[in-house]
Amino acid sequence: MTSKNIILLGPPGAGKGTQAHRLVSRRGMVQLSTGDMLREARESGSEMGRKVAAIMERGELVTDEIVIGLIGEHLDRGAGGGFIFDGFPRTLAQADALEALLARHAMALDCVIEMQVDDAALVRRITGRFSCANCGTVYHDETRPTAVAGTCDICGSHDLRRRADDTEEALKTRLMEYYKKTSPLIGYYYAKGLLRSVDGLAPIDEVTRQIMDILEPVTGNSPAEG
């Protein structure tokens, strides 16, 4: 399995975190989620965490400077199976900064996977989401419930939480921010020949299969799958 550095690009609720988690366990990749890093900073009560809390709760983007700094710190640690950038970059300035940061570490992006979904599905996904505070596994009230109510399937923790910005009100702002500031990245990466797309409305396993096919396409002379 070759090491790859990829971006998962898509609106709030597209399934970036869900799929990143699977790639971590199946391919030994390292997930770099700026959303998770910012939530950790908020929980720790650091000065930066206090500064971003209200911005995140409203669904607005925090400054480029903050998230670029966070990503820069994590790249130093390296990743055997490659990096998954989840929720970063979100602006053209962040995309330029990522390219420069990767170059400084003698790395490059292999592909950008756009997760295509429509807005109607996102409201349902966001308002039904909860996740395990211990291991980060993402669930949904209807489509991905825990096997035993109140207990994480993976680590057994009972600390299951909902996000403060997972309200219909904040989602409107998050979507607006996405279309205004993040969706231009689709054209940016298309022009660089890096853009690939998956059907984010497909069932979770099917989306994973599509992503795995992009990362390790079936090549050579092997007969068609039977």
Q: In the complex, what is the shortest distance from the CB of residue 86 to Mg ion, in angstroms, rounded to a whole number?
A: 6
Which residues, in sequence order, are bridge partners of residue 47? Answer: none
Residues annotated catalytic, as ranges: 16, 90, 129, 163, 174
By the rule CB under 6 A, 17 interacts with ligand AP5: yes
Based on the shown chain and the rule CB under 5 A, indicate whether residue 59 belongs to the binding site for Mg ion: no
Check binding of 138 to ligand AP5 (CB under 6 A): yes
Quick note: the x/- pattern for Mg ion over 17-56, rule CB under 5 A, is x---------------------------------------
Spatial separation of the C-alpha atoms in residues 9 and 183, rounded to whole Å: 9
Kindly state the tokens that stand for 63.
Answer: 């400054």
Residue 138, strand partner residues:
131
Cα–Cα distance measured from residue 125 to residue 51, given in angstroms and rounded to the nearest whole number: 28
Contact code string over 156-195 relative to ligand AP5, x by CB under 6 A: ---------x--------x---------------------
Select from Mg ion, ligand AP5, none the partner in contact with residue 14, using the beta carbon and a kind-dependent cut-off of 5 to 8 Å.
ligand AP5
> H or E stretch including 111?
strand 111-116
Preceding omega of 145 cis (within 30 degrees of 0): no
